[in-house]
């Protein structure tokens, strides 16, 4: 697909305004060296091209570019000889809904026995400048050909328009993109296939993804893991994260958006850098391509502006990027270079006057400190006469990877161009800078100890709370002590065994939210209150859910928890086993810092997930991480189950499941 030796254009005519002619012009302009064939029923003369009347008349070719109306595509593809990749530019398939869905099904059927693979339909094409490949009609190819050149970043986009934008962006900066693939509707080849193909190209150092939906989670995980094993890091911008935009996707690539929380959790596990916009994801991927893999998570920041330091601190907090403060030795080193600034992290050097290498000296001091594995150097507006020497001093630093945040606007842009020409990692937007640093740290912190688990079957049977806690206890998850009873006398006996204060709850696989219908009683401190509670919770269920299956009433010891969290292990239909962690409560899905990850997780990675939850000390963090590991293994064992524990409470000495639902 990305290095073909021969190409055919289906729908090639002598009309220069048609897609086929545009694609031919692009291939010729960018120097494709292999034979090019054209397909058209009238077989017009087209200079430099061998024309045939139908696809069945073509010899075997590597790449077929289909620039004909959607209704004609399945028939044209059916007659092709494989193996080949067919790029279908046409729209009017599943994204158009209605008849388009059936048309896409017909297209897939057409390739079932041919050995042909499909990219698209609704694809913007493929571009690989180093191979003279410009198999696309997109308008960025109208730029002078010398502006479209190879670079260390590959782009895989489900949107052709955004792929065009990113190529324009790179060209405008004087940079290039190593390869671009627009996957469109993904009737056959998916984003995972494109990642695998791009990762095999020489010169690719990172891949930027524009993601709307992931259709094959296991293949995506495998492709990203393989790319990372080759040293090629991945960054992603996820579109369709809001409810309104999710509805629009059906008319764009004919797909539903992948769940935002789940996708972010997958990215956290794999070490994929996350970005909010297409430009930002290109910046993140560009920084990853130009910096080595970190040896630790320490990030230092140096600037001349107090306001910028505050901004960077805010953005870092929002990204969960920890900034260790300078130690006493570093403070002593940088003190001579400070002019009314503040020795913190981010460090504000204060006034910009003084020797032009002063800034580089402080950046290098950060770089030589063992607390920092990467440093952000912020070039704000400063005396233009100082800029060349300032840049010299920064480019000379080799003790630590440097990311340059250029905040000097259009002042001395020749120095900005020089940084880029020297291959430095440069961004011009603070949000992109922090996203890039977070991406670099995410790759370092990825869950390398986690085995790849495949999607499993959807759980079918819900257990009652009593049965759920019994199963969890057998799997090594601590649960609050309790007993299932079926009459008032047994309830009172259980109270007398458990002590001063108990809880009474109905036990039913059909009643999961017991408090909402009054099927639970707390703070029971006497035999009489327990006997009354037994009847009350059963009556409450009879009124609210007369059809519910009742196993009995669970009497359990009431436990006071200093801290409550939510932990869930579940099957995502796309990505398979997942684990989620957050503060305990009734509105878990609305939490800003709900941590999600592929399951199972390693202990080291579980500790990172737990670190997202505020106000946990070292003891509770480590013991909770042990439990998160155990819970994450529930959906991946020989007898897989889903489990939701909310809350999991800290009693002051241990964690215990206070409420739980298990699905078989």
Structure confidence by residue, pLDDT tens digits, 7-16: 999 999 988 8
**Is residue 557 a contact partner of residue 573, using CB atoms and an 8 Å limit?**
no
Question: What number of other Cβ atoms are within 10 A of residue 208's Cβ?
Answer: 30
H-run or E-run covering 308: helix 306-319
496 shares its domain with 534 = yes
* Contacts for 92 with CB less than 8 Å, ≥ 6 apart: 69, 70, 71, 100, 103, 121
Q: How many domains does the chain have?
A: 5
Strand order in the sheet with 233-238: 133-135, 125-128, 179-182, 153-157, 206-211, 233-238, 273-275
Is position 239 within any domain?
A: yes
Structural domain including 9 reads 1-137
Burial 602-633 (b: 16+ CB within 10 A, else e): beebbbbbbebbeebeeebeebbbebbbbbbb
The more confidently predicted of residues 202 and 563 is 202
Is position 146 within any domain?
A: no
pLDDT at 617 over 80: no
pLDDT at 178 over 80: yes
H-run or E-run covering 591: none
DSSP letters, 97-138, are -THHHHHHHHHHHHTTTT-EEEE-SS--EEEEGGGTEEE---
**How far separated are the first and last CA of the chain, in Å rounded?**
44
Structure confidence by residue, pLDDT tens digits, 86-96: 999 999 999 88
Q: Which of the listed residues 258, 290, 322 is the one where a domain comes to its end?
A: 290
**Is residue 232 a contact partner of residue 204, using CB atoms and an 8 Å limit?**
yes
Burial of 244 (0-12, 13-18, 19+ CB in 10 A): exposed
259 shares its domain with 370 = no
Secondary structure of 386-450 as H, E, C letters = HHHHHHHHHHCCCCCCEEEEEECCCCCHHHHHHHHHCCCEEECCHHHHHHHHHHHHHHHCCCCCC
Is position 332 within any domain?
A: yes
What distance in Å separates the CA atoms of residue 39 and residue 86, rounded to the nearest whole number? 13
What distance in Å separates the CA atoms of residue 80 and residue 57, rounded to the nearest whole number? 8
Torsion-angle region of 6 (φ positive above 0: left; ψ -120 to 50: alpha; else: beta): beta
Angle at 94 between CA 89 and CA 100, to 5 degrees: 90
* Contacts for 411 with CB less than 8 Å, ≥ 6 apart: 381, 384
CATH number at residue 380: 3.40.50.261
46 shares its domain with 166 = no
Is position 180 within any domain?
A: yes
Sign of CA pseudo-dihedral 479, 481, 486, 487: negative
107 shares its domain with 57 = yes
Predicted pLDDT of residue 456: 66
What distance in Å separates the CA atoms of residue 434 and residue 405, rounded to the nearest whole number? 10
CATH number at residue 538: 3.30.1490.20
Please compute the mean of the pLDDT values over residues 106-130 and round it to a whole number.
94
267 shares its domain with 204 = yes
Predicted pLDDT of residue 451: 77
* Model-wide pTM > 0.75: yes
Q: Which of the listed residues 527, 542, 557 is the one where a domain comes to its end?
A: 557
Question: How long, in residues, is the chain?
Answer: 664
Predicted pLDDT of residue 596: 93
The fraction of the chain above a pLDDT of 70, given in percent, is 94
The more confidently predicted of residues 637 and 306 is 306
What distance in Å separates the CA atoms of residue 262 and residue 435, rounded to the nearest whole number? 19
| Among 177, 254, 243, 186, residue whose Cα is nearest residue 220 | 186
pLDDT at 241 over 70: no
What distance in Å separates the CA atoms of residue 662 and residue 271, rounded to the nearest whole number? 30
Secondary structure of 448-491 as H, E, C letters = CCCCCCCCCCCCCCECCHHHHHHHHHHCCCCECCEEEECCHHHH
318 shares its domain with 217 = no
Please compute the mean of the pLDDT values over residues 387-398 and round it to a whole number.
91
**Is residue 388 very low, low, confident or very high in pLDDT (cuts 50, 70, 90)?**
confident
CATH number at residue 85: 3.40.50.720
CA distances from 198 to 166, 183, 187, 236 (A): 16, 12, 19, 15
Strand partners, 483: 555
Structure confidence by residue, pLDDT tens digits, 436-456: 999 999 999 999 887 777 766
Is position 451 within any domain?
A: no
405 shares its domain with 512 = no
pLDDT at 244 over 50: no
Average pLDDT of the chain to the nearest whole number: 92
130 shares its domain with 76 = yes
What distance in Å separates the CA atoms of residue 352 and residue 404, rounded to the nearest whole number? 17
What distance in Å separates the CA atoms of residue 646 and residue 277, rounded to the nearest whole number? 34
56 shares its domain with 173 = no
Is position 105 within any domain?
A: yes
Is position 200 within any domain?
A: yes
Predicted pLDDT of residue 645: 96
In this structure, what is the dihedral angle of CA atoms 37, 184, 456, 509, given to the nearest 10 degrees?
-150
Strand partners, 663: 462, 642
130 shares its domain with 182 = no
**Is residue 242 very low, low, confident or very high in pLDDT (cuts 50, 70, 90)?**
low
Is position 646 within any domain?
A: yes
Question: What number of other Cβ atoms are within 10 A of residue 351's Cβ?
Answer: 11
CATH number at residue 602: 3.30.470.20
**Is residue 302 a contact partner of residue 362, using CB atoms and an 8 Å limit?**
yes
552 shares its domain with 658 = no
The more confidently predicted of residues 618 and 140 is 140
**Is residue 212 a contact partner of residue 239, using CB atoms and an 8 Å limit?**
yes
By mean pLDDT, which of 225-229, 393-397, 581-585 is the weakest?
581-585
577 shares its domain with 530 = no
Please compute the mean of the pLDDT values over residues 594-622 and round it to a whole number.
87
Q: Which of the listed residues 557, 582, 597 is the one where a domain comes to its end?
A: 557
DSSP letters, 145-167, are GGGS---SEEEEES-HHHHHHHH
* Contacts for 541 with CB less than 8 Å, ≥ 6 apart: 506, 508, 511, 517, 519, 548, 550
Structure confidence by residue, pLDDT tens digits, 184-221: 999 999 999 999 999 999 999 999 999 999 999 999 99
């Amino acid at each position: 697909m990305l290095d073909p030796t021969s190409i055919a254009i289906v729908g090639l005519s002598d009309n220069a305004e048609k897609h086929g002619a545009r694609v031919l012009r692009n291939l010729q302009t960018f120097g494709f060296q292999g034979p090019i064939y054209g397909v058209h029923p009238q077989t017009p003369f087209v200079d430099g091209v061998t024309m045939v009347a139908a696809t069945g008349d073509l010899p075997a070719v590597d790449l077929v570019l289909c620039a004909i109306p959607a209704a004609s595509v399945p028939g044209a593809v059916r007659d092709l000889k494989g193996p080949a990749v067919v790029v279908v530019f046409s729209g009017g398939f599943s994204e158009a809904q209605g008849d388009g869905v059936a048309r896409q099904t017909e297209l897939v059927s057409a390739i079932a026995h041919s050995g042909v693979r499909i990219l698209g339909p609704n694809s913007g094409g493929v571009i690989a400048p180093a191979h003279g490949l410009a198999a696309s009609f997109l308008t960025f190819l109208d730029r002078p050909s010398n502006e479209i050149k190879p670079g260390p970043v590959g782009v895989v986009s489900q949107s052709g328009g955004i792929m065009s934008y990113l190529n324009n962006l790179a060209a405008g900066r004087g940079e290039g993109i190593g390869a671009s693939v627009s996957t469109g509707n993904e009737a056959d080849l998916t984003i995972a296939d494109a990642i695998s193909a791009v990762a095999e190209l020489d010169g690719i150092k990172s891949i930027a993804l524009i993601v709307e939906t992931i259709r094959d989670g296991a293949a995506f995980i495998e492709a990203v893991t393989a790319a990372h094993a080759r040293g090629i890091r991945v960054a992603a911008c996820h579109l369709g994260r809001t409810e309104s935009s999710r509805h629009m996707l059906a008319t764009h690539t004919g797909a539903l958006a992948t769940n935002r929380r789940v996708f972010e959790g997958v990215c956290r596990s794999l070490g994929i850098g996350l970005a909010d916009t297409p430009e930002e994801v290109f910046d993140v991927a560009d920084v990853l391509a130009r910096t080595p893999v970190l040896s630790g998570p320490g990030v230092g920041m140096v600037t001349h502006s107090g306001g910028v330091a505050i901004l960077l601190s805010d953005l870092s907090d929002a990204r969960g990027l920890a900034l260790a403060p300078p130690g006493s030795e570093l403070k002593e080193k940088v003190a001579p270079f400070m002019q009314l600034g503040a020795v913190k992290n981010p460090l504000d050097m204060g006034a910009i006057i003084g020797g032009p290498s002063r800034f580089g000296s402080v950046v290098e001091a950060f770089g030589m400190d063992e607390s920092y594995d990467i440093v952000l150097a912020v070039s704000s507006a400063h005396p233009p006469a100082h800029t060349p020497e300032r840049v010299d001093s920064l480019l000379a630093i080799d003790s630590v990877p440097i990311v340059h945040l250029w905040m000097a606007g259009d002042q001395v842009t020749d120095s900005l161009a020089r940084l880029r020409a020297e291959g430095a990692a440069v961004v011009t937007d603070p949000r992109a800078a922090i996203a890039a640093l977070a991406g670099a740290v995410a790759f370092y912190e990825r869950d390398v100890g986690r085995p790849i688990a495949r999607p499993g079957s959807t759980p079918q049977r819900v257990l009652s709370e009593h049965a759920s806690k019994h199963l969890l206890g057998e799997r090594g998850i601590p649960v609050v002590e309790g007993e299932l009873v079926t009459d008032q006398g047994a309830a009172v006996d259980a109270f007398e065994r458990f002590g001063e204060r108990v809880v009474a709850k109905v036990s039913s696989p059909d009643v999961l939210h017991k408090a909402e219908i009054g099927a639970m009683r707390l703070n029971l401190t006497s035999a009489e209150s327990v006997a009354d509670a037994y009847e009350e919770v059963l009556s409450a269920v009879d009124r609210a859910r007369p059809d519910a299956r009742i196993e009995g009433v669970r009497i359990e010891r009431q436990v006071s928890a200093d801290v409550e969290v939510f932990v869930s292990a579940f099957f995502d239909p796309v990505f398979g086993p997942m684990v989620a962690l957050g503060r305990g409560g009734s509105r878990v899905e609305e939490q800003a810092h709900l941590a999600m990850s592929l399951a199972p997780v390693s202990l080291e990675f579980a500790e990172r997930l737990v670190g997202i939850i505020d106000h946990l000390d070292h003891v509770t963090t480590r013991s909770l991480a042990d439990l998160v590991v155990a819970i994450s293994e529930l959906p991946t064992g020989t007898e897989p189950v889903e489990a939701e524990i909310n809350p999991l409470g800290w009693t002051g000495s241990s964690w215990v499941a206070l409420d739980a639902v298990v699905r078989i």
